Amino acid sequence: MGPRKEHRNLETCTASLNAVKDALYVLNGKWKLPLIISLQEGPLRFNEIQKSLGEITPKILSKELKDLELNEFVIRKVFSTTPVTVTYELTPYSESLERVIDELRDWGLKHRERLVKNRRSELVKAEMATSL
């Protein structure tokens, strides 16, 4: 699979580059996509999200949730209970990332499999070389 063979000129390359930059700007960092994935099962409270992600600090989680809320991927709901209950859930717009997440998951699985296979192959070669 190589680059698409489309009509390419400076204008289309620039437009493509800008579109990718925009997408990466919105989804930057190591936490935004995992955060979205953690909310796919339904609304969660802050501590539940933090537990599901593991190593994220409360400060970073708060920032990431605010960013996702600003970009209309997450909605924050406040319930007037005692104490106040706050949940976070995905918006319908977040479904626009479903194909992106599926493709990244598939690619990630294949990439990991390739690396493991290549490392095993290197180990076998190294063992054969030392036994000669």
Cα–Cα distance, 39 to 88 (Å, whole number) = 8
Q: 1 pLDDT band (50/70/90 cuts)? A: low
pLDDT in tens, 68-109: 999 999 999 999 999 999 999 999 999 999 999 999 999 999
Q: How many CB atoms lie within 10 A of CB 67?
A: 18
Cα–Cα distance, 56 to 126 (Å, whole number) = 39
Beta bridge partners of 75: 89
pLDDT in tens, 39-49: 999 999 999 99
The per-residue pLDDT of the chain, averaged, comes to: 91
Above 90 in pLDDT, residue 110?
yes
Residue 108, pLDDT score:
96
Beta bridge partners of 112: none
Angle (deg, nearest 10), helices 58-70 and 46-53: 110
φ and ψ at residue 27, rounded to 5 degrees: -105, 20
